[in-house]
Amino acid sequence: MRIVDIRETSIALKSDLRNAVFDFSEMTTSVVAVITDVIRDGKPVAGFAFNSTGRYACGAQMRARFIPRILKAPPESLLDVAGSNLDPEKILACMMQREKPGGHTERSVAIGTIEVACWDAAAKIAGLPLHALIAKKYNKNKYLSKVPCYVGGGWYAPGKGIPELLAEIREKFDQGYRTMKIKVGGMSIPEDVARVEAALKLIGDSARLAVDANAGFDRERALAYAKALAPYRLRWFEEPTDPLDYALLAEVAAIYEAPIGTGENLFSTQDVKNLITFGGLRADRDIIQTDVPQSYGIAQFGKTLAMMQERGWSPQSVFPHGGNQMTLHIVGGFGLGGCEAYPGVFGMFAGFADDAQVEDGWLKLPDRPGIGFEAQNALYAEMRKLL
Ligand code: MG
């Protein structure tokens, strides 16, 4: 068997959202199809992926380096020992040829997106849902059949005050969610604290409300927010600092006792190692939020997780960034802490199978082979155009 072709395209997100740092008006994402010569149900098996949310499409790197490297490699060098399926670890190594160490995001998103599409193809060839294939390879065949799923929201919008925020929270809880994350940092501290207090009063449990500052604070503001938010003991305080400012993060952690979440803007195993070594984070409570398709993909994430476990961190402390089906399978297959969701926010790229339903804060793993983009009509219509 072999990979016949790899195709990619860039799709605009068309979102009018903004967080504390930037707006999404120009945001795009790369969609990838990895086409094999394996026939299932009369058609060649193709694997799909997209580069999650918040990082722009990266087709130039794919076209210039990573796709040609894979297509030029001897097909058998990319297969498992039995020669009957793709081996994503070998495909990752093939893409990494002649790449200089460090400087990860220039390539980690492009490589990770292609890698995850290879996993989708491999899982379809194996006849397994992706989480089952991940569990077979990395987790002694143990996977979760349902995962905790929290909802992200509380974005800033013109004319959106506390009543509108509370209406949004009520709507999400009516949809089955039980934990919500809202943005902070886009207003003054007293205004944001008033939003947090109102949300807490409605939700009634500080373990069910998280806040996200999107790495927008300088030192003074990060410390001021940490002091202001600490008494509420929220589920977590996300990205209080620049993702690479480990010293400032350690300062925040020293005065903020409740959990801190971060890591969605770190793209390598070494970055996460630096984070947990130098960021003052605490393995017994803090949350690591790697975005797997943006960080070289699933095989590399297996290494990141093993590195974390060697240092006393549980897989349960990982809540990967990206409310999508790729992340859902990754949470289920590796037995991670939970999954996020952004229903209706990032257009066709948000969410799970069209009929997926969050029940009392839990989301079931899909059971069709692969990732299951075929059950997301709008997204799959775009992916199918690549065939
Ligand atoms: Mg975030």
Task: Supply the CATH number for residue 28's domain.
Answer: 3.30.390.10
CA of 214 to the centre of ligand 1 (A): 5
- Let me know if residue 206 belongs to a domain: yes
Asked if 45 and 182 sit in the same domain, the reply is: no
Asked if 192 and 265 sit in the same domain, the reply is: yes
CA of 264 to the centre of ligand 1 (A): 7
Query: Of 360, 356, 317, whose CA–CA distance to 336 is shortest?
Result: 317
Catalytic residues: 183, 321
CA of 276 to the centre of ligand 1 (A): 18
* DSSP labels, 49-100: EE--SSS---HHHIIIIIHHHHHHS-GGGGB-TTSSSB-HHHHHHHHTTTPP
- Let me know if residue 385 belongs to a domain: no
Asked if 163 and 42 sit in the same domain, the reply is: no
CA of 232 to the centre of ligand 1 (A): 19
The amino acid that residue 310 corresponds to is: E
pLDDT confidence of residue 20: 67
Neighbours of ion ligand 1 (CB under 5 A): 212
Query: Of 260, 244, 264, whose CA–CA distance to 252 is shortest?
Result: 260
- Let me know if residue 383 belongs to a domain: no
pLDDT confidence of residue 360: 98
Q: What tens digit of pLDDT does each residue of 124-173 get?
A: 999 999 999 999 999 999 999 999 999 999 999 889 999 999 999 999 99
Asked if 124 and 264 sit in the same domain, the reply is: no
CA of 340 to the centre of ligand 1 (A): 10
Q: What is the mean pLDDT of each run of 10 residues along the chain (387 residues)?
A: 97 76 84 97 97 92 98 98 97 97 95 98 98 98 98 92 97 97 96 98 98 96 98 98 97 98 97 98 98 98 98 98 96 98 84 95 97 96 96
DSSP character at residue 104: T
Asked if 92 and 160 sit in the same domain, the reply is: no
Contact 66, 59 (CB under 8 A): no
Six-digit token pair at 124? 């379809």
Helix (H, G, I), strand (E, B), or coil: what is residue 362? strand
Asked if 177 and 107 sit in the same domain, the reply is: no
Asked if 151 and 65 sit in the same domain, the reply is: no
Asked if 38 and 146 sit in the same domain, the reply is: no
- Let me know if residue 133 belongs to a domain: no
Find residue 28's DSSP bridge partners.
12
Task: Supply the CATH number for residue 205's domain.
Answer: 3.20.20.120
Contact 151, 180 (CB under 8 A): yes
CA of 89 to the centre of ligand 1 (A): 28
- Let me know if residue 253 belongs to a domain: yes
- Let me know if residue 386 belongs to a domain: no
Query: Of 158, 159, 155, 79, whose CA–CA distance to 122 is shortest?
Result: 79
Contact 52, 326 (CB under 8 A): yes
Asked if 160 and 108 sit in the same domain, the reply is: no
| Last residue within a domain, chosen from 106, 128, 150 | 128
- Let me know if residue 295 belongs to a domain: yes
Residue 228 main-chain phi, psi, to 5 deg: -70, -35
Asked if 121 and 154 sit in the same domain, the reply is: no
Helix (H, G, I), strand (E, B), or coil: what is residue 379? helix
| Last residue within a domain, chosen from 128, 156, 182 | 128
- Buried (b) or exposed (e) across 10-49, using 16+ Cβ within 10 A? ebebebebbbbeeebeebbbbbbbbbbebeeeeeebbbbb
pLDDT confidence of residue 209: 98
Domains: count for the chain: 2
Asked if 153 and 36 sit in the same domain, the reply is: no
Q: Residue 337 sits in which domain range?
A: 138-373
Asked if 147 and 22 sit in the same domain, the reply is: no
| Last residue within a domain, chosen from 90, 108, 128 | 128
- Let me know if residue 381 belongs to a domain: no
